Amino acid sequence: MTQNIYDDAGFFAGYSQLRRSVDGLGGAPEWPTLQSMLPALTGKGVVDLGCGFGWFCRWARDAGAASVLGLDVSANMLARARETASDAAIAYRQADLETLDLPAASFDLAYSSLTLHYLEKLAELFATVHRALVPDGRFVFSAEHPLYTEPGPDYLDEGPRTSDWLAKGVVKQHRTLATYLNLLIDAGFTVRRVEEWGPTRAEIAAHPEWKIDHRRPSFLLVSAAR
């Protein structure tokens, strides 16, 4: 089973301090790009794979979604999501995305933010998501960009990478960009948009605290259609 680092007390405390945890979607620099890749949500059914504190679930409701299912492996995250706001049309459920079961043809949008790079078994999840979407439903996700997970000379060597981000021994799964796309295609998806997100030079100049001196992408954003 995939490491559940979000229920590590030290990691959770650190994660809770991140700007994207405090400010939500507006604190995530890649959000405007990811948002531009989303379909209209009015009256739609949405599932969020790795919903964390529920920022996107609440945003989707504000954007008109009829119902939202937020899934996360972390009890800590779900508890925080549930206590932040009450909305009968948002259901939060603890789930291991590697053994997930979803009803067929039940969602118009599957969304996932910065979760998939933790999973070992992605092909199985993509098949589950494909089956759970209605025809022409959309799967929009972000993941850590492969060049962020593996900035060194071993880009083509896929597999686990261990880093000390917020806690010691955080395990992420390095996959090439081609592998992400081929897994989608093999699951039956049509790739509609691929974005390799990194801050612009102007953003880097405006945020010296980021201490970024390169233009390698941080995040991979993908939109696919069933």
Contacting residues toward a second copy, per CB under 8 A: 147, 153-157, 176-178, 181-182, 185, 190-196, 198, 213-217
For a second copy, the closer CB: 91 or 178: 178
Kindly list the distances between the CA atom of residue 141 and the CA atoms of 76, 145, 202, 204, in Å, as whole numbers in the listed order: 22, 12, 25, 24
For a second copy, the closer CB: 185 or 206: 185
The first and second tokens of residue 194, run together, are 């691929």
For a second copy, the closer CB: 89 or 212: 212
CB of 155 to a second copy, least distance (A): 5
CB of 130 to a second copy, least distance (A): 16
CB of 107 to a second copy, least distance (A): 23
The DSSP-derived string for 6-30 is GGSHHHHHHHHHSHHHHSGGGG-TT
Helices and strands (H and E) in the chain: how many: 9, 9
For a second copy, the closer CB: 64 or 159: 159
Instruction: Compute the distance between CA of residue 165 and CA of residue 118 in angstroms, rounded to an integer.
Output: 13
Instruction: Compute the distance between CA of residue 20 and CA of residue 142 in angstroms, rounded to an integer.
Output: 14
DSSP state of 6: G
CB of 4 to a second copy, least distance (A): 30
